[in-house]
Structure 1
């Protein structure tokens, strides 16, 4: 059997942010698709998002939802690209009309990691430790367990954040483990933060693929690279975020994964920004979506909306 000619090949355009991590994720998706389809040519189209352009303000100050996705979504809607690749934790659960979350390849590590050149684990940090992070969730989860920690805002790409650790004399910074692993910077990690204590962001460690509704041709191309277990887990997490109206501007985490006995475990966490009011629900079962619904109902009954500022 001869290889398909160029005339027979199908070209698909994938939209990506320009950061090193974003391009790693996009190239990973492209490689998976090309491996699954011999007759496919992939073109990567890069662009800057609002979140990439404004680095001197915190994420909530910029505007919260969609700051890393809007420009890619505009390209999707205009057919300038066929699909967009995101860090799933950046993809809102309420998408523009006509767009949909199409799924994810297999998820990487979902945890957060502590990076420090002064201390070997989080329990060694002094009571007045200065921690740098741009995440309200990470700050609130740390404050809930270490109420005397001090915090500094941290934005920029992975390399820039690591440079600031020593430059500004921080005791530690906190970042997603998956980002460091994907960029082959695992040796910078001092310790991973346990996901059952420091519940990760919704979708953390997963790549999110977004497409236009009605693009059955694109869905058919994506089908072989999607990971069923990952999609089930992150879909449950996104239900928690959607039902609690969460996003970058509120302290909310959800993490769903398989257990050793073949079932599922879901941790859902909400807290006040100062870490003084915290709710944490843990459920096990066989249906991630049903577990997400139950977790939300319990959290709402216990006052989650008030804690998150929705009442």
Structure 2
């Protein structure tokens, strides 16, 4: 099938989304001299509804549906997402096409009052828009207060100052990519605060039947990243997780060559009921399936539905 010389990338309009899309465009141009890459921007439901917490909207694909509509009509050839926003089960006709090299998957604590999260006193207010982050913090610090935090990266940092929060939690990769890494107060250790599925990775989505896209993408995809995020997405898909549940999965190469460590977490929204385990082995997908089986036996679905 003929390789198109003009490729259209679909993107959200936020600064982070555009950074990621331009990054993909640069990788593609470097891999295919002469390839013309155009960026098409649009708003998603998640961008439009910043006035309410994500779980309250009650819709799947909050940051992806509009981009998928453009894929379905070939208005764009690829959609570029933060992979953690891309559901593990996609609409008919859509497929996860791969990911370039992953950035930091960790969560970052940002504060103008405390030098680390461990210094935050009981009764302090932490702002986050993530159910997972809130539950993980509550599990260890049940006497904290929480505020919802929505909006783009700049807006969230402004709210820290303007609304007087004691701290906020954000994805480290987002701050790195926008050259705001100096705002990070400390990083949360992933063995204790397990990141979201795919966090730190860019997810590329394509329409089924566009096999020519695979040849274009092949040079920019990163094999270790693909192994890790594929396993994480298996874990999420089998547990029927999404952005609105307290679920984390992080697969990372272990110290021993050829080995992987898979960190898994599910909990109730208040953090009281929690399953948290890490396993090491040579097959990331097998680790994901084994952890899901173990978690299901321990009542993971009833915990997530609490």
TM-based fold match above 0.5: yes
Hey, what does 1:44 align to over in structure 2?
39
Q: Aligned pair in 2 of structure 1 residues 140, 9: CA closer, same or farther (>3 Å)?
A: closer
Q: How far apart, CA to CA, are the structure 1 residues paired with 2:213 and 2:118?
A: 48
Is 1:86–2:76 an aligned residue pair?
no
Q: How far apart, CA to CA, are the structure 1 residues paired with 2:31 and 2:11?
A: 20
Q: Aligned pair in 2 of structure 1 residues 218, 45: CA closer, same or farther (>3 Å)?
A: same
CA-CA distance at 1:216 after TM superposition: 1.4
Pick from 65, 69, 73: which aligns with 2:68?
A: 73
Q: How far apart, CA to CA, are the structure 2 residues paired with 1:268 and 1:260?
A: 18
Q: How far apart, CA to CA, are the structure 2 residues paired with 1:115 and 1:285?
A: 34
CA-CA distance at 1:149 after TM superposition: 0.5
Hey, what does 1:123 align to over in structure 2?
118
CA-CA distance at 1:248 after TM superposition: 1.1
Q: How far apart, CA to CA, are the structure 2 residues paired with 1:302 and 1:64?
A: 28
State the TM-score, normalizing by the size of structure 2.
Answer: 0.98
Q: How far apart, CA to CA, are the structure 2 residues paired with 1:216 and 1:68?
A: 24
Is 1:296–2:292 an aligned residue pair?
yes
The answer to whether the Cα contact below 8 Å between 1:64 and 1:248 also exists between their aligned partners in 2 is no
Is 1:278–2:274 an aligned residue pair?
yes
Hey, what does 1:253 align to over in structure 2?
248
Gaps of 5+ in 2: none
Hey, what does 1:58 align to over in structure 2?
53
RMSD, aligned α-carbons:
1.1
Gaps of 5+ in 1: 1-7
Is 1:22–2:21 an aligned residue pair?
no
CA-CA distance at 1:63 after TM superposition: 2.1
The answer to whether the Cα contact below 8 Å between 1:22 and 1:87 also exists between their aligned partners in 2 is yes
* Runs of 4+ deviating beyond 3 Å: none
Deviation by residue 1:155-175 (Cα, 9 ceiling, x = unmatched) = 000000000102111000000
Q: How far apart, CA to CA, are the structure 2 residues paired with 1:123 and 1:255?
A: 22
Q: How far apart, CA to CA, are the structure 2 residues paired with 1:117 and 1:241?
A: 34
The answer to whether the Cα contact below 8 Å between 1:107 and 1:205 also exists between their aligned partners in 2 is yes
State the TM-score, normalizing by the size of structure 1.
Answer: 0.96
Describe how 1:1-311 pairs up with structure 2 within 5 A.
10-262=5-257, 263-309=259-305
Number of positions where the alignment pairs a residue of Structure 1 with one of Structure 2? 303
CA-CA distance at 1:65 after TM superposition: 2.3
SS at match of 2:115: coil
